[in-house]
Amino acid sequence: MCASAVGDTIGHFTMRRIITRRLPILFLVVDLLLGPAIAAAPQVDVTYGPLPVFELHSGFWINLHHRLYEEARQRRNADSPGTPKSGKTGKPTLQIAPDSKIVLSSSEQHAWENAISYYAANYVNKDLLFNTELLLLKNQLGDFETCDELSGGKKKSCDAGLPANLTQILEGAAPVYRAHRWPADDRANRAWIKRVAPLVREQGVGLSHRLADIYQTRWPAEKIRVDVSAVANAAGAYTTLDPLRVTIASTDPRNQGASALEVLFHEASHGIAEPVEQAIARECRQRDKPIPRDLWHALIFYTTGEVIKPVMEEEADAPENSAAQNGAKAGSSSSIGAGEGNSRYPQDSEYTPYAKREGLYQRGWENYLSLLTRYWQPYLNGRTTFDDAIAHMVSAL
């Protein structure tokens, strides 16, 4: 979502340009990382299908990667002088143990500490979204989700082609994670997927067509891969391009319930909304105005929210869903996802879009919200053209 980066969002499209400019270097890195073997096909039990539009994964390595990254960041934050020791990110904790009763053996402790140290030394100051090395590593770990190793020692097709020391670190941490944390993380991911899947099945195609029409582009022909991970980045979700892949944190309170569908489509919109960014830039150049760097992002937040809203309200008002809500408390689901439990819908049928609920417009986007309401909403209502809407917004900047 990039929600926490409202003030300093560079934008995913900028990343695409950086990558394009650095193509020779990128190919070199890709070559190093990919090695000879490309991805095994995902197993049925890690891909929840068949769904339209998205393919949703709960993959072991990608979850381990994000856990290690998060724990290394938490320790860095806790260690940095001037950081308050209280609060969410300030406490040094052994995140491998979801409750304090789990005690690691000394060899487990050693393997885990090695992995955290490696992440602290190599990745902790790099951004999951904007750093090419982390982007490629994440994609590669996703591709090898069906492998129980990364070195190809047991199975040649499971040689992920990662640097030898990284392979060793991850393979060392894997049994620890698999024994103590992965089962709960995987359950949380599957619970999240299970809750959102019916909505994707019912509404996915219609929403994808609507958004592609709005952005005057085509929705990707292939299903968009979504890696559901217990934790992701600070924003709770992020999207990388070329190839377009979404990562969503299943335990992030911002991504629960009715918001799950909006998070999916907001993130996917990062892959298709380039015409908006280009149009804004073009209009700004024509008027000799500086290009507002977050307007396109505010616009995709606004648009996804407005497109999702009637769908969610209709869903919430459907009699079968009201009945399901009433019966939900009698259910015996073992869902462990954070958020509001098992209900797919809030009690109130009025849907509040993500950006409004999370207060994004109050963090420096107030002006954007009024521009969007005034000039972009008429386009969404079919009362003006795409070009006119963008031109009016830019003139009013």
Q: Name the residues that contact Zn ion, by CB under 5 A.
A: 1-2
CB atoms within 10 A of CB 118: 20
Nearest-approach distance from CB 157 to Zn ion, in angstroms: 35
Tokens of 210: 């609507």
Nearest-approach distance from CB 17 to Zn ion, in angstroms: 17
SS3 57: strand
N- to C-terminal Cα separation, the chain = 24
Nearest-approach distance from CB 198 to Zn ion, in angstroms: 24
The runs of H, that is alpha helices, within 181-294 are 182-214, 259-269, 274-286
Nearest-approach distance from CB 379 to Zn ion, in angstroms: 20
Nearest-approach distance from CB 45 to Zn ion, in angstroms: 30
Nearest-approach distance from CB 298 to Zn ion, in angstroms: 10
User: Counting Cβ atoms within 10 Å, is residue 154 exposed (0-12), middle (13-18) or buried (19+)?
Assistant: exposed
Nearer to Zn ion, 185 or 227 (CB): 227
Residues 177/67, Cβ–Cβ less than 8 Å: yes
SS3 55: strand
Nearest-approach distance from CB 267 to Zn ion, in angstroms: 7
Taking CB atoms, the residue at the shortest distance from Zn ion is 2
Nearer to Zn ion, 1 or 234 (CB): 1
Instruction: Tell me how long the chain is.
Output: 397
Nearest-approach distance from CB 276 to Zn ion, in angstroms: 13
Nearer to Zn ion, 17 or 287 (CB): 17
Cβ-proximal residues to 41 (8 Å cutoff; 6+ apart), any chain = 146
Nearer to Zn ion, 4 or 114 (CB): 4
Nearest-approach distance from CB 54 to Zn ion, in angstroms: 16
Nearer to Zn ion, 268 or 390 (CB): 268
CA distance 236 to 252: 6
- Produce one character per residue of 162-182: b if its CB has 16 or more CB atoms within 10 Å, e if not: beeebbbbbbbbbebbeebbb
Nearer to Zn ion, 2 or 174 (CB): 2
SS3 122: helix
Residues 39/61, Cβ–Cβ less than 8 Å: no
As a whole number of angstroms, the longest Cα–Cα distance in the chain is 67
Nearer to Zn ion, 18 or 323 (CB): 18
User: Counting Cβ atoms within 10 Å, is residue 329 exposed (0-12), middle (13-18) or buried (19+)?
Assistant: exposed
The runs of H, that is alpha helices, within the chain are 12-21, 23-34, 60-79, 106-122, 132-143, 164-180, 182-214, 259-269, 274-286, 295-317, 319-328, 354-357, 366-371, 377-380, 386-395
Nearer to Zn ion, 225 or 344 (CB): 225
Q: What single string gives the DSSP state of each residue in 264-321? A: HHHHHHTTT-HHHHHHHHHHHHHTT-PPPTTHHHHHHHHHHHHHHHHHHHHHHHSHHH
Nearer to Zn ion, 140 or 240 (CB): 240
Nearest-approach distance from CB 301 to Zn ion, in angstroms: 7
Nearer to Zn ion, 1 or 64 (CB): 1
Residues paired with residue 161 on neighbouring β-strands, in sequence order: none
